């Protein structure tokens, strides 16, 4: 027998979604910070960038998770590979290779609780029964699911999908009855759901999060002719046909921030382009941070504005940057 205190009943923790054996908890504020990261944590929370965790009740269902996702577990919980022989191992290894998922996904059984690693992405819970028992998900989004669900590699309808559609040749397909948890780069509130009834959907880019296993996925020209495609400015689009539904994001997945874009984000544009730059109190900044910003300023050929940067309050004398004036909150 076990009791868990100050977790789900914590005033800073909110259960945002619950389905089957799964709960999604969200930390309203990131309190495990120091004075150097307080500003970033404050604005991250205001913009819904928060830590989230998936809590699994193993007593309700055996759970299959992405490799390396477990953070802690309590009670009578044991992990297995779920392998049923050499053939099963080779099949799962091949499926993991072509779908960019882990080859071996551990399965947890027992009567306790399993908590996965925190993430700043949005965790979506989907009932596969609502998708007529078959769903295909975008690469890299799988987090966990009921072990009753069958996993398979779903091949695109033609090779052009892999060569020209910005997608791989295979996606992970799940079939049967149960719940699957996905890590999405956009919240559920922004997802667009489109139901097709012997019709087609064309999307410029890989913005689809998941789609019905009954749909045919191909890549084709946006227009009927090459000239028509050139005039529209969209050469190739992802096409979903037949009967089923598609859940898509309103924007494309953002790429990892480059060094230049990171420094541009940290340095206000008015500080870069105006000659009267910030003069602030002498920084209490580690040498590593000072070196980072010094190198960034030299790389971008901008004035040395971080010589006197105060990472705690960002108090300035002459700067008119709205970013610096917003902190600390009043």
Q: Are 210 and 126 in contact (CB under 8 A)?
A: yes
What pLDDT, in 10s, does the model give residues 271-291?
444 333 333 333 334 444 444
Per-residue pLDDT, 268: 47
CA atoms within 13 A on the CB side of 314: 19
What is the CA angle 184-189-194, rounded to 5? 85
- Domains of the chain are 13-248 (3.60.160.10), 259-325 (no CATH)
The DSSP call for residue 119 is B
Per-residue pLDDT, 159: 57
> What is the SS3 assignment for 207?
coil
Asked if the bond preceding 328 is cis, omega within 30° of 0, the reply is: yes
79-87 mean pLDDT: 66
**Integer angstrom CA distances of residue 9 from 26, 50, 272:** 12, 18, 47
pTM greater than 0.85: no
Structural tokens at position 24: 């999604």
Structural tokens at position 99: 């779908």
**Integer angstrom CA distances of residue 256 from 137, 259, 289:** 21, 10, 20
Per-residue pLDDT, 96: 55
Q: Are 293 and 311 in contact (CB under 8 A)?
A: no
The DSSP call for residue 157 is S
């Amino acid at each position: 027998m076990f009791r868990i205190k100050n977790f789900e009943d914590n005033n800073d923790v909110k259960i945002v979604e619950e389905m089957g054996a799964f709960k999604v908890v969200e930390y309203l504020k990131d309190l495990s910070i120091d004075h150097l990261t307080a500003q970033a944590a404050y604005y991250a929370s205001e913009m819904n960038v928060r830590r989230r965790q998936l809590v699994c009740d193993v007593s309700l269902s055996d759970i299959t998770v992405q490799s390396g996702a477990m953070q802690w577990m309590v009670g009578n919980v044991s992990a297995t590979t779920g392998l049923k022989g050499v053939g099963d191992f080779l099949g799962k290894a091949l499926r993991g290779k072509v779908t960019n998922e882990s080859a071996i996904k551990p399965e947890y059984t027992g009567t306790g609780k399993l908590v996965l690693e925190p993430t700043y992405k949005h965790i979506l819970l989907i009932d596969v029964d609502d998708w007529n028992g078959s769903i295909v998900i975008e690469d890299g989004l799988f987090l966990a699911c009921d072990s009753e669900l069958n996993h398979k590699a779903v091949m695109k309808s033609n090779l052009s999908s892999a060569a020209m559609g910005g997608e791989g040749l295979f996606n992970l397909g799940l079939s049967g009855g149960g719940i699957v948890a996905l890590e999405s780069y956009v919240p559920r509130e922004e997802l667009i759901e489109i139901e097709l009834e012997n019709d087609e959907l064309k999307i410029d880019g890989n913005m689809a999060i998941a789609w019905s296993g009954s749909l045919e996925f191909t890549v084709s020209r946006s227009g009927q002719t090459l000239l028509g495609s050139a005039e529209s400015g969209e050469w190739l689009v992802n096409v979903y046909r037949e009967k089923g539904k598609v859940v898509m994001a309103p924007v494309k997945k953002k790429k990892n921030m480059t060094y230049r874009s990171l420094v541009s984000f940290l340095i206000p544009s008015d500080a870069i382009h105006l000659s009267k730059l910030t003069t602030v109190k002498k920084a209490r900044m580690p040498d590593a941070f000072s070196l980072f910003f010094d190198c960034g300023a030299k790389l971008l050929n901008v004035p040395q504005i971080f010589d006197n940067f105060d990472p705690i309050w960002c108090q300035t004398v002459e700067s008119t940057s709205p970013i610096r004036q917003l902190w600390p909150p009043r």
